[in-house]
Amino acid sequence: MSLLSDLVNLNLSDSTKQIIAEYIWIGGSGMDIRSKARTLPGPVSDPSKLPKWNYDGSSTGQAAGDNSEVILYPQAIFRDPFRRGDNILVMCDAYTPAGDPIPTNKRHKAAKIFSHPNVAKEVPWYGIEQEYTLMQKGVNWPIGWPIGGFPGPQGPYYCGVGADKAIGRDIVDAHYKACLYAGIGISGVNGEVMPGQWEFQVGPVEGISAGDQVWVARYLLERITEISGVNVSFDPKPVPGDWNGAGAHCNYSTKTMRNDGGLAVIKKAIEKLQVKHKEHIAAYGEGNERRLTGKHETADINTFSWGVANRGASVRVGRDTEKEGKGYFEDRRPASNMDPYVVTSMIAETTILG
Amino acid sequence: MSLLTDLVNLNLSETTDKIIAEYIWVGGSGMDMRSKARTLPGPVSDPSELPKWNYDGSSTGQAPGEDSEVILYPQAIFKDPFRRGNNILVMCDAYTPAGEPIPTNKRHAAAKVFSHPDVVAEVPWYGIEQEYTLLQKDVNWPLGWPIGGFPGPQGPYYCSVGADKSFGRDIVDAHYKACLYAGINISGINGEVMPGQWEFQVGPAVGISAGDEIWVARFILERITEIAGVVVSFDPKPIPGDWNGAGAHCNYSTKSMREDGGYEIIKKAIDKLGLRHKEHIAAYGEGNERRLTGHHETADINTFLWGVANRGASIRVGRDTEKEGKGYFEDRRPASNMDPYIVTSMIAETTILWKP
């Protein structure tokens, strides 16, 4: 297919100033990502200079057929690792023609929270650990698993190496470099406990940008699995039984938590989260009750617990943070299919404004 | 899949100063290797400048769930032959948060031996011959062997060439170049006596570095077999019967052995090893009793025997060494699944520090 690849990889900068911008948004289910591309007359690096656009909301479950235009507002720009050159990816959120955020637009409200002066001055940082499972196309069974059967039990796969332990690494490594190229703050990757399951981490990223970066990172992942002929699943418990679920642990800190005396601020914040456990859980991803069982390194969904270095707790504080008296903590409750705009802003709202 | 390959091979140096560091450690079985990657703000060439890290020890059999953090101390840096650019591989060892080496951390005690002044003064060199077997995925039967059957008997395969004699050379050659690229002191490779079995040699490496280089060479090998869809086995006797086992012969010399009069020092060292045969054998790899039978170029596990040019001995001294009166000797006892930190430091300890 080298003629096709030659065309896909054409470097247009030699022949034109025009660039291609891929506008990305979240569809009607709240988890499906959509995108389409347009030509722009020249390179752009500031989202406010990009034109608003629109799409057919009746085809994504986000508008009625007789009033189908949904308006896209560009919010963040990333370099396009597929088209390269000066071409860009644009993370957008969606509005009615009248200028109101549509119901599935969770970014708008999150941005309001992050621009509240009390929140802004705390400079909230997020590190999100996005877990996901790679599935064989067509059969919806994890990659590397025999059809009609199971692999050997969990144990050898976490951070494993070898054809019988690590499956799909080329997707993971391509994604790592693609994200770095795009300008996403990807801080690491690792193979997970269940075979065919992987994790990448984005962070530390400040405020609203955490949500933008996780969504674009998810988009890049799904573009790459599309190339590989594999499906990516963000289901929190893709295989029932003695197999780990998939989460999106959210590491969090504010300015006061990162400064001397921060540990006391952290403990107060955790207490506030405890009071609002039910509300957070309701917003932390569909199907999480299949994952948060109290087994497989989770805390039971109805229980709020926290501990140092305890992977069976709802919230975990690292040993370093305990030792230095300042740092950050990890909310282990969010499911892999959580909306990062919702989770990040809710944690800030509860701990700073609550 | 060239679009995927384009991304995997992206040269990031053009767009960012950031690098990717793959931290590698030995897992709970003492033979399983684990790794994960992190982004660093810029190139690093000195391990002491790398941050410590931690991992979930409860997922590798190295810590309980309620106190799961195990700390990784970076010890050696190699260039990453998969990600290339300024990206690196980092060999680490594992500690509790309190700073104690965890039980499976064999490097710590080895490093102590190698920093003893008497050992340092002797500049111990190691050349390790790592044998391994390539197996077909899912059936775990050697590469090139018919399913449900056997190839023709041993004879044609050692150092051979040809599609009916040599299985998996692309893995071996990729590994050779990858190790050289990474900065590992790989000194050679050859096809082995059993079909599907190969060997690479690392050395001469000094002191603790021998262990680091062997572990990273093993990691690179398993990454390459992962790409090739083949399983690598370090079992010392993968197929019972009239088929060779797999060893990790350890060639060894000290400064005094390499100088004039060294042959006498070598003989004294071999005598000391003979007095501690049982202790060494116990530390030379699990399952070695299936391999050290006295047949197939091994000495029986209960016997300590040495000889010049004798491949049926526990220790072999090369003819060159005998002729020149100085050089090195080869401990043929270690199994392919030995821990190089243990074997190299134990040989140094017995021959340099131990008094009978």
The shortest CB-CB distance from A180 to any of B16, B68, B137 is to B16
The answer to the question of residue A112 being in a domain is no
Domain extent at residue A124: 117-353
Residues B83 and B137 in one domain: no
> Would you call A191 an interface residue with chain B, using a CB distance cutoff of 8 Å?
yes
Contacts of A177 in chain B (CB under 8 A): 7-8, 10, 12, 20, 83
Q: d(Cα B341, Cα A184) in Å, to the nearest integer?
A: 39
Token pair for A321: 């943070």
The answer to the question of residue B112 being in a domain is no
The shortest CB-CB distance from B8 to any of A174, A188, A318 is to A174
For residue A242, name the pLDDT band (cuts at 50, 70, 90). Answer: very high
Residues B209 and B230 in one domain: yes
The shortest CB-CB distance from B60 to any of A158, A166, A307 is to A158
Q: d(Cα A100, Cα B147) in Å, to the nearest integer?
A: 66
- Domain final position from A104, A130, A148: A104
Residues B221 and B303 in one domain: yes
Please write the tens of the pLDDT for every residue from B108-141.
999 999 999 999 999 999 999 999 999 999 999 9
- What percentage of chain A carries pLDDT values higher than 70? 100
State residue A4's pLDDT score.
87
- Domain final position from B104, B129, B155: B104
Please write the tens of the pLDDT for every residue from B66-99.
788 899 999 999 999 999 999 999 999 999 989 9
Residues A124 and A92 in one domain: no
The 8-class DSSP code of residue A353 comes to I
Contacts of A176 in chain B (CB under 8 A): 20, 37
CATH number at residue A182: 3.30.590.10
Binary contact (A164, B15; C-beta < 8 A): no
Binary contact (B1, A174; C-beta < 8 A): no
Residues B68 and B154 in one domain: no
Please write the tens of the pLDDT for every residue from B304-347.
999 998 888 999 999 999 999 999 999 999 999 999 999 999 99
- Domain final position from B59, B74, B104: B104
Residues B137 and B26 in one domain: no
Token pair for B353: 């520090």
State residue B70's pLDDT score.
94
Q: Is A200 exposed, middle or buried (0-12, 13-18, 19+ CB in 10 A)?
A: buried
Q: d(Cα B169, Cα B174) in Å, to the nearest integer?
A: 8
Q: Is A64 exposed, middle or buried (0-12, 13-18, 19+ CB in 10 A)?
A: exposed
- Whether the link from the prior residue into B195 is cis, omega within 30° of 0, is no
CATH number at residue B196: 3.30.590.10
Residues A83 and A121 in one domain: no
Residues B137 and B271 in one domain: yes
Q: d(Cα B211, Cα A45) in Å, to the nearest integer?
A: 49
Q: What is the mean pLDDT of chain B?
A: 96
| Residue of A23, A30, A26 lying closest to A44 (CA atoms) | A23
Residues A147 and A189 in one domain: yes
> Would you call A171 an interface residue with chain B, using a CB distance cutoff of 8 Å?
yes
Euclidean distance between the first and the last CA atom of chain B, given in angstroms as a whole number: 62
pLDDT over threshold 70, residue A277 = yes
Residues A131 and A195 in one domain: yes
Binary contact (A159, B60; C-beta < 8 A): yes
Residues A258 and A232 in one domain: yes
The answer to the question of residue B97 being in a domain is yes
Distances (CA, A) of B333 to A1, B34, B208, B245, B280: 52, 27, 20, 12, 9
ipTM of the complex: 0.90
Please write the tens of the pLDDT for every residue from B128-178.
999 999 999 999 999 999 999 999 999 999 999 999 999 999 999 999 999
Please write the tens of the pLDDT for every residue from A48-71.
999 999 999 999 999 998 889 999
State residue B39's pLDDT score.
98
Residues A308 and A216 in one domain: yes
pLDDT over threshold 80, residue A76 = yes
Q: Say which residue, B309 or B247, is predicted with more confidence.
A: B247
Residues B139 and B190 in one domain: yes
Residues B186 and B240 in one domain: yes
User: 3-class DSSP state for residue A152?
Assistant: coil
- Domain final position from B73, B104, B135: B104
For residue A1, name the pLDDT band (cuts at 50, 70, 90). Answer: low
Residues A231 and A291 in one domain: yes
Mean pLDDT for A301-318 is 90
| Residue of B108, B231, B308, B314 lying closest to A161 (CA atoms) | B231
Residues A52 and A164 in one domain: no
Please write the tens of the pLDDT for every residue from B189-208.
999 999 999 999 999 999 99
The shortest CB-CB distance from B226 to any of A162, A171, A310 is to A162
Contacts of A245 in chain B (CB under 8 A): none
Mean pLDDT for B35-59 is 96
Q: What pTM was estimated for this model as a whole? A: 0.93
| Residue of B158, B351, B330 lying closest to B249 (CA atoms) | B330
Domain extent at residue B14: 4-104
The answer to the question of residue A109 being in a domain is no
The answer to the question of residue A110 being in a domain is no
Please write the tens of the pLDDT for every residue from A97-122.
999 999 999 999 999 999 999 999 99
Mean pLDDT for B4-22 is 94
Please write the tens of the pLDDT for every residue from A175-223.
999 999 999 999 999 999 999 999 999 999 999 999 999 999 999 999 9
Residues A271 and A127 in one domain: yes
Please write the tens of the pLDDT for every residue from A224-241.
999 999 999 999 999 999
Contacts of A173 in chain B (CB under 8 A): 8, 82-83
pLDDT over threshold 70, residue B1 = no
Q: Count up the domains in chain B and report the number.
A: 2
Sign of CA dihedral B42, B223, B214, B180: negative
Residues B34 and B125 in one domain: no
Residues B126 and B81 in one domain: no
Residues A136 and A189 in one domain: yes
Residues B78 and B144 in one domain: no
Q: Count up the domains in chain A and report the number.
A: 2
Binary contact (B225, A162; C-beta < 8 A): yes
